[in-house]
Amino acid sequence: MTTVNEKVLLERRPRRGRPRSEAAEQAIVEAVLNLLGQGSSLAALSIEGIAAEAGVGKATIYRRWANKDALLLDVLQRAEEPEPTLAGDSVRDDLVASLEFLRRTALARRSRTSLAVFTAELRALPELHRAYHAQVIEPRRARMRDLLARGVALGEIRDDIDLDLLGELIVGPMLSRTLLRPEAPLDDPTLSATIVDTVLQGVAARKAVRH
Amino acid sequence: MTTVNEKVLLERRPRRGRPRSEAAEQAIVEAVLNLLGQGSSLAALSIEGIAAEAGVGKATIYRRWANKDALLLDVLQRAEEPEPTLAGDSVRDDLVASLEFLRRTALARRSRTSLAVFTAELRALPELHRAYHAQVIEPRRARMRDLLARGVALGEIRDDIDLDLLGELIVGPMLSRTLLRPEAPLDDPTLSATIVDTVLQGVAARKAVRH
DNA sequence: GCGATACGAGACGGTGCCGTATCGGAAATG
DNA sequence: CATTTCCGATACGGCACCGTCTCGTATCGC
């Protein structure tokens, strides 16, 4: 594991000679996701194992990526779904949409494993961790902060709660279910709305009316 | 990494000859926790590294544990704090106490890393994962379920929410902060109460009174 | 003191992996 | 057809580690 360069892929593409196989490249990326989906840890992934899973020679991998870190970072980035576009009509609805995105990401079997793998294992791979955090986690949290701040400004959300804590109240339950209960149902499309509405309304029993 | 036997420790203690050094045993356990606390991943721990950190020969480790898995499982079990005793006066207070326990567990630098390491990395170590889940995670969740059920029975908590979801609403935010924000403050002793009360009361802005 | 068992240190064979190099063959350009 | 580059396969040197074993020494029961 050496340094991850800014430019991850080797991109010199000569015009003469046999072109690189797009199929091989896809097979390599697929193989990494397959192995992660089968429960492999990030650190346990080996180039030789990936090559075998992909039905590819090691040289075919090293022709495209400089080293293992570069390959893994590239695959992790490709695996990210695009963030959802938020309608903006209601902060509540946008929160549900954001959480739905997280749920679907977690639902995909591969990503589900990946999420768990990322959060902890990346810690042991500092270069990878730094890059992934800066390029994926942090922008996502910034979006959530903006959304919640809009909710406060519009009067949908109490203004006496720390914005970071608010985000954790929303995201935490989905994270808890994904990480701590690997067997828990995650395919209920109403789960996100239930979480958001429950966090908004509160859990305490009430005698008074809600509005 | 071979199978973890039911009996983890080798426990034949002959009465003749030099007795085993209790100091060495403690140094070994300490060394594992130290390395985890320094950010090492579970999979990256090596017997040789542990022995060096502990200032101990490898044979001294293998004299006590059958293999690496047995050592790690034993250390993980020892590292668990006892669950807090719940006063039982108010479910809200007991929830705060339970969450405080989780916060303190996460706060300890070693445990903080360990928690992150466990949740994801254990996945790649199936024997370890199964044992840890059954012996630590599941009992903890059962306690939380009982506590929440009491809250529902006593009328402190709404009766129209799934108990598992309730638990996730409480535990999730702390988990989120611990795992996704390694730099976030976790040493605020009022954090647990803030989370519990916010989840109980809800996040939505209200015009009506709360009672 | 003597045998038994422990200690730290580290040698040892074996395994698995990294990243490079080489093979014969395949697929492109010109 | 000659050249170039890629292909899968695999050999290679090097490294880190596992779990066993052997040193010379220390500490116990008897």
| Residue B208 placed within a domain | no
Residue A161 CB contacts under 8 Å (≥ 6 apart), including other chains: B198, B203
Q: Tell me: pLDDT of B200 over 80.
A: yes
Which residues form the domain of A124? Answer: 83-203
pLDDT given at position B111: 57
Do B174 and B196 sit in the same domain of this protein? yes
B10 within domain boundaries: no
* Chain B residue closest in CA terms to A136: B180
Asked if B74 and B98 sit in the same domain, the reply is: no
Give the helix ranges, DSSP H, for A2-158.
22-37, 47-54, 58-62, 68-79, 91-107, 109-121, 126-132, 138-153
| Alpha carbon distance B93, B197 (integer Å) | 10
Q: Distance (Å, rounded) from C-alpha B56 to C-alpha A188? A: 52
Question: Residue B140 has what pLDDT?
Answer: 86
Report the gap between the CA of B58 and the closest CA in chain A (Å).
24
Whether residues A97 and A168 fall in one domain: yes
Contacts with A169 from chain B: Cβ below 8 Å: 169, 172-173, 195, 198-199, 203
Question: Å between A118 CA and C10 C1'?
Answer: 37
Domain boundary among A78, A95, A128: A78
- Written as six digits, the tokens of A184 are 């828990």
Query: Is A158 found in the same domain as A68?
Result: no
DSSP assignment string, B101-163:
HHHHHHHSHHHHHHHHHHHHHGGGSHHHHHHHIIIIIHHHHHHHHHHHHHHHHTTSB-SSS-H
Residue of least CA–C1' distance to D2:
A17
Of A158, A174, A175, the CB nearest to B203: A158
Listing DSSP states for B31-85 in one string gives HHHHHHHTT--TTT--HHHHHHHHT--HHHHHTTBSSHHHHHHHHHHHHPPPPPP
Supply the angle between the helices B91-107 and B163-180 in degrees, to the nearest 10. 30
pLDDT at B116 over 60: no
Secondary structure (DSSP) of B11-37 = ----SSSSPPPHHHHHHHHHHHHHHHH
Burial B26-41 (b: 16+ CB within 10 A, else e): ebbbebbbebbeeebb
DSSP A43: T
As given in the structure block, the two tokens for residue A154 are 């519009």
Are A71 and A91 part of one and the same domain?
no
Q: How many whole angstroms separate alpha carbon A35 and alpha carbon A42?
A: 9
- Smallest CA–C1' distance to C26, residue: A18
Domain count, chain A: 2
* Chain centroid offset of residue B24 CA: 25
In a domain? residue A10: no
Q: Is A4 a member of any domain?
A: no
- CA of B119 to nearest chain A CA: how many angstroms apart? 6
Answer whether B194's CB lies under 8 Å from A158's CB.
no
Q: How confident is the model at residue A116 (pLDDT cuts 50, 70, 90)?
A: low
**In chain A, how long is the greatest CA-to-CA distance?**
78
**Bases of chain D with protein Cβ within 7 A:** 3-11, 16-22, 26-30
On whether both B88 and B184 belong to a single domain, the answer is yes
Distance B21 CA to D28 C1' (A): 11
In whole angstroms, give the CA distance from residue A100 to residue A119: 19
Query: Which bases of chain C are contacted by protein, using any atom under 7 A from a CB?
Result: 3-11, 16-23, 25-30
Same domain, B124 and B174: yes
Answer whether any strand D atom is within 7 A of the Cβ of B20: no
Q: Is B3 a member of any domain?
A: no
Query: Which stretch of DSSP H or E encloses residue A171?
Result: helix A163-180
Average pLDDT along chain B? 81
Question: How close does chain B come to A41, measured CA to CA in Å?
Answer: 5
Residue B5 lies in a domain: no
Shared-domain flag, residues A59 and A116: no
Please count the residue pairs, one from chain A and one from chain B, whose beta carbons lie less than 8 angstroms apart: 182
Q: What is the pLDDT of residues B4-25, one digit of tens each?
A: 443 445 555 567 889 999 999 9
Q: Which residue of B has its CA nearest to A203?
A: B200
Among B62, B78, B94, which residue terminates a domain?
B78
Cβ neighbours of residue B112 under 8 Å, at least 6 residues apart? B106, B178, B182, B186
Asked if the Cβ of residue A20 lies within 7 A of any atom of strand D, the reply is: yes
In a domain, A7, yes or no: no
Q: Choose one of A78, A108, A130: the last residue of a domain.
A: A78
Residue B13, CA distances (Å) to B9, B21, B64, B70 in order? 11, 12, 10, 18
Structure tokens at B188: 């605020």
Residue of B nearest to A184 (CA): B164
Query: What digits encode the pLDDT tens for the residues A135-148?
Result: 777 888 899 999 99
- What average pLDDT does this structure show over A158-176? 92
% residues pLDDT > 70 (chain B): 78
Instruction: Please tell me whether residues B169 and B74 are part of one structural domain.
Output: no
Which is more confidently placed, B182 or A64?
Answer: A64
Those residues with Cβ within 8 angstroms of residue A104's Cβ, 6 or more apart along the chain or in another chain: A81
Can you read off the two tokens belonging to residue B190? Answer: 């009022």
Do A108 and A52 fall within a single domain? no
Q: Is residue A56 part of a domain?
A: yes
Shared domain for A170 and A129, answered yes or no, is: yes
Placement of tokens 């072109």 in the chain: A19
Which of A91, A103, A177, A180 to probe the B interface (max B CBs under 10 A)?
A: A180
Residues A198 and A145 in one domain: yes
Q: Looking at residue B42, what is its pLDDT?
A: 79
* Average pLDDT of the residues in B17-41: 89
Which domain CATH number covers A53? 1.10.357.10
